[in-house]
Amino acid sequence: MLVWTLSLLLNNRRVLKIAQEELDKYVGRERRVQDLDISNLVYLNAIVKETLRLYPAGPLGGTREFSEDSHVGGYYVPKGTWLIMNLWKLHRDPNVWPDDPSEFRPERFLSTHKSVDVKGHDFELIPFGAGRRICPGVNLALQMLHFVLASLLHAFEFSTVCDEMVDITESAGLTNMKATPLEVLIAPRLSPTLYN
Protein backbone atom coordinates (compact mmCIF):
# COMPACT_ATOMS: atom_id res chain seq x y z
CA MET A 1 0.00 0.00 0.00
CA LEU A 2 2.91 2.33 0.68
CA VAL A 3 4.22 1.79 -2.87
CA TRP A 4 0.78 2.60 -4.33
CA THR A 5 0.48 5.70 -2.15
CA LEU A 6 3.89 7.03 -3.14
CA SER A 7 3.19 6.24 -6.81
CA LEU A 8 -0.07 8.19 -6.72
CA LEU A 9 1.56 11.11 -4.92
CA LEU A 10 4.39 11.27 -7.45
CA ASN A 11 1.82 11.41 -10.24
CA ASN A 12 -0.08 14.12 -8.34
CA ARG A 13 2.59 16.52 -7.10
CA ARG A 14 -0.01 19.06 -5.96
CA VAL A 15 -1.37 16.51 -3.48
CA LEU A 16 2.16 15.65 -2.35
CA LYS A 17 2.88 19.32 -1.72
CA ILE A 18 -0.32 19.78 0.31
CA ALA A 19 0.53 16.72 2.43
CA GLN A 20 4.01 18.05 3.15
CA GLU A 21 2.62 21.49 4.00
CA GLU A 22 0.23 19.84 6.47
CA LEU A 23 3.16 18.00 8.05
CA ASP A 24 5.16 21.23 8.31
CA LYS A 25 2.19 22.95 9.95
CA TYR A 26 1.41 20.30 12.58
CA VAL A 27 4.84 18.73 13.11
CA GLY A 28 7.24 21.46 12.04
CA ARG A 29 10.78 20.93 10.84
CA GLU A 30 12.51 20.84 14.21
CA ARG A 31 11.49 17.29 15.17
CA ARG A 32 10.38 14.01 13.61
CA VAL A 33 6.81 12.73 13.29
CA GLN A 34 5.41 10.99 16.37
CA ASP A 35 2.38 8.71 16.78
CA LEU A 36 0.40 11.50 18.45
CA ASP A 37 0.75 13.70 15.35
CA ILE A 38 -1.21 11.33 13.11
CA SER A 39 -4.64 12.36 14.44
CA ASN A 40 -3.98 15.96 13.34
CA LEU A 41 -3.04 14.98 9.78
CA VAL A 42 -6.49 15.07 8.18
CA TYR A 43 -5.25 15.41 4.60
CA LEU A 44 -2.81 12.53 5.03
CA ASN A 45 -5.70 10.40 6.28
CA ALA A 46 -7.69 11.34 3.15
CA ILE A 47 -4.73 10.29 0.99
CA VAL A 48 -4.62 6.88 2.70
CA LYS A 49 -8.38 6.37 2.27
CA GLU A 50 -8.22 7.34 -1.40
CA THR A 51 -5.32 4.96 -2.02
CA LEU A 52 -7.17 2.12 -0.28
CA ARG A 53 -10.23 2.91 -2.39
CA LEU A 54 -8.36 2.81 -5.70
CA TYR A 55 -5.89 0.04 -4.94
CA PRO A 56 -7.14 -2.26 -2.17
CA ALA A 57 -4.48 -4.81 -1.18
CA GLY A 58 -6.86 -7.62 -2.09
CA PRO A 59 -9.02 -6.48 -5.01
CA LEU A 60 -11.29 -9.50 -4.50
CA GLY A 61 -12.74 -9.92 -1.04
CA GLY A 62 -12.62 -13.23 0.78
CA THR A 63 -15.04 -16.00 -0.19
CA ARG A 64 -18.35 -16.00 1.68
CA GLU A 65 -21.04 -18.69 1.71
CA PHE A 66 -24.72 -17.89 2.13
CA SER A 67 -26.01 -19.69 5.23
CA GLU A 68 -29.65 -19.33 4.20
CA ASP A 69 -31.74 -18.59 1.12
CA SER A 70 -31.66 -14.85 0.47
CA HIS A 71 -32.78 -12.09 -1.84
CA VAL A 72 -30.07 -9.60 -2.83
CA GLY A 73 -30.79 -6.72 -5.19
CA GLY A 74 -33.95 -8.42 -6.43
CA TYR A 75 -32.17 -11.74 -7.12
CA TYR A 76 -32.82 -15.02 -5.37
CA VAL A 77 -29.63 -16.52 -3.92
CA PRO A 78 -29.92 -20.09 -2.61
CA LYS A 79 -28.28 -21.30 0.58
CA GLY A 80 -24.74 -22.59 -0.03
CA THR A 81 -23.96 -20.10 -2.83
CA TRP A 82 -20.42 -18.75 -2.69
CA LEU A 83 -19.91 -15.02 -3.00
CA ILE A 84 -16.68 -13.25 -3.91
CA MET A 85 -16.92 -9.47 -3.75
CA ASN A 86 -15.10 -7.44 -6.38
CA LEU A 87 -13.81 -4.65 -4.12
CA TRP A 88 -11.93 -3.01 -6.99
CA LYS A 89 -15.20 -2.54 -8.89
CA LEU A 90 -17.21 -1.60 -5.79
CA HIS A 91 -14.72 1.15 -4.92
CA ARG A 92 -15.00 2.61 -8.43
CA ASP A 93 -18.79 2.47 -8.73
CA PRO A 94 -19.93 5.75 -10.36
CA ASN A 95 -23.22 5.56 -8.43
CA VAL A 96 -21.29 5.85 -5.16
CA TRP A 97 -18.28 7.85 -6.37
CA PRO A 98 -19.86 10.11 -9.03
CA ASP A 99 -16.94 12.52 -9.56
CA ASP A 100 -14.43 10.64 -11.73
CA PRO A 101 -14.32 7.41 -9.69
CA SER A 102 -11.01 6.27 -11.24
CA GLU A 103 -9.20 9.52 -10.47
CA PHE A 104 -7.00 10.02 -7.40
CA ARG A 105 -8.79 12.75 -5.42
CA PRO A 106 -8.17 12.67 -1.67
CA GLU A 107 -10.34 15.79 -1.31
CA ARG A 108 -13.46 13.63 -1.67
CA PHE A 109 -12.72 12.40 1.89
CA LEU A 110 -12.66 15.98 3.15
CA SER A 111 -16.12 16.82 1.82
CA THR A 112 -18.73 14.45 0.34
CA HIS A 113 -17.29 11.26 1.87
CA LYS A 114 -15.77 12.80 5.00
CA SER A 115 -17.41 10.37 7.41
CA VAL A 116 -16.63 7.22 5.39
CA ASP A 117 -14.60 4.73 7.41
CA VAL A 118 -12.31 1.97 6.06
CA LYS A 119 -12.91 -0.43 8.95
CA GLY A 120 -15.98 -2.13 7.51
CA HIS A 121 -18.67 0.22 8.81
CA ASP A 122 -19.35 1.93 5.47
CA PHE A 123 -19.93 -0.59 2.71
CA GLU A 124 -18.96 1.77 -0.10
CA LEU A 125 -15.33 1.49 1.09
CA ILE A 126 -14.30 -1.88 2.52
CA PRO A 127 -10.65 -2.50 1.54
CA PHE A 128 -10.20 -4.79 4.56
CA GLY A 129 -13.56 -6.52 4.27
CA ALA A 130 -16.35 -6.19 6.81
CA GLY A 131 -18.20 -8.04 9.51
CA ARG A 132 -16.86 -11.02 11.41
CA ARG A 133 -14.33 -11.81 8.71
CA ILE A 134 -12.72 -8.38 8.44
CA CYS A 135 -8.93 -8.54 8.09
CA PRO A 136 -7.54 -9.10 11.60
CA GLY A 137 -4.58 -6.84 10.80
CA VAL A 138 -6.64 -3.75 9.88
CA ASN A 139 -5.62 -1.68 12.92
CA LEU A 140 -1.92 -2.49 12.59
CA ALA A 141 -2.02 -1.89 8.82
CA LEU A 142 -3.64 1.53 9.20
CA GLN A 143 -1.37 2.58 12.05
CA MET A 144 1.77 1.56 10.17
CA LEU A 145 0.67 3.01 6.83
CA HIS A 146 -0.19 6.39 8.34
CA PHE A 147 2.94 6.58 10.47
CA VAL A 148 5.43 5.39 7.84
CA LEU A 149 3.89 7.55 5.13
CA ALA A 150 3.90 10.62 7.40
CA SER A 151 7.51 9.94 8.41
CA LEU A 152 8.69 9.56 4.81
CA LEU A 153 6.82 12.60 3.47
CA HIS A 154 8.02 14.71 6.38
CA ALA A 155 11.67 13.70 6.14
CA PHE A 156 12.23 13.53 2.37
CA GLU A 157 11.53 15.25 -0.92
CA PHE A 158 10.45 12.75 -3.55
CA SER A 159 10.83 12.89 -7.32
CA THR A 160 11.20 10.59 -10.29
CA VAL A 161 13.98 10.37 -12.82
CA CYS A 162 13.49 13.22 -15.33
CA ASP A 163 10.20 14.01 -13.52
CA GLU A 164 8.50 11.23 -15.46
CA MET A 165 5.08 9.90 -14.48
CA VAL A 166 5.04 6.66 -12.48
CA ASP A 167 3.58 3.67 -14.30
CA ILE A 168 0.58 2.57 -12.25
CA THR A 169 -0.19 -0.62 -14.14
CA GLU A 170 -1.44 -3.34 -11.81
CA SER A 171 -0.19 -6.92 -11.88
CA ALA A 172 -2.56 -9.86 -12.13
CA GLY A 173 -3.16 -11.87 -8.97
CA LEU A 174 -5.00 -12.06 -5.69
CA THR A 175 -2.92 -9.27 -4.18
CA ASN A 176 -2.80 -5.87 -5.81
CA MET A 177 0.80 -5.10 -6.71
CA LYS A 178 2.38 -2.73 -9.19
CA ALA A 179 3.51 -4.43 -12.40
CA THR A 180 6.75 -2.40 -12.40
CA PRO A 181 9.01 -1.43 -9.50
CA LEU A 182 8.74 2.07 -8.08
CA GLU A 183 11.92 4.04 -8.72
CA VAL A 184 12.21 7.32 -6.82
CA LEU A 185 14.83 9.90 -6.02
CA ILE A 186 14.87 11.21 -2.46
CA ALA A 187 16.54 14.17 -0.80
CA PRO A 188 16.40 15.24 2.85
CA ARG A 189 13.90 17.97 3.83
CA LEU A 190 14.94 18.44 7.45
CA SER A 191 18.02 19.39 9.43
CA PRO A 192 20.82 16.78 9.20
CA THR A 193 20.69 16.31 13.00
CA LEU A 194 17.20 14.74 12.72
CA TYR A 195 18.47 11.80 10.64
CA ASN A 196 20.71 10.29 13.34
Domains of the chain, each with CATH number or no CATH: 2-195 (1.10.630.10)
DSSP characters over 85-137: EEHHHHTT-TTTS-S-TTS--GGGGTTTTTT--TTTTSTT--TT--GGGS-TT
Vertex 32, ends 26 and 37: CA angle to 5°? 40
User: Binding site membership for heme: which residues?
Assistant: 135
Would you give per-residue pLDDT tens digits along the chain (196 residues)? 999 999 999 999 999 999 999 999 999 999 999 999 999 999 999 999 999 999 998 888 878 889 999 998 899 999 999 988 888 898 999 998 988 999 999 999 999 888 898 887 888 898 888 888 788 889 999 999 999 999 999 999 999 999 999 999 988 878 888 999 999 999 999 999 998 7
Q: Rg (Cα) of the chain, in Å, rounded? A: 19
**Count of beta carbons in the 10 Å neighbourhood of residue 36:** 7
pTM over 0.75: yes
User: Binding site membership: which residues?
Assistant: 135
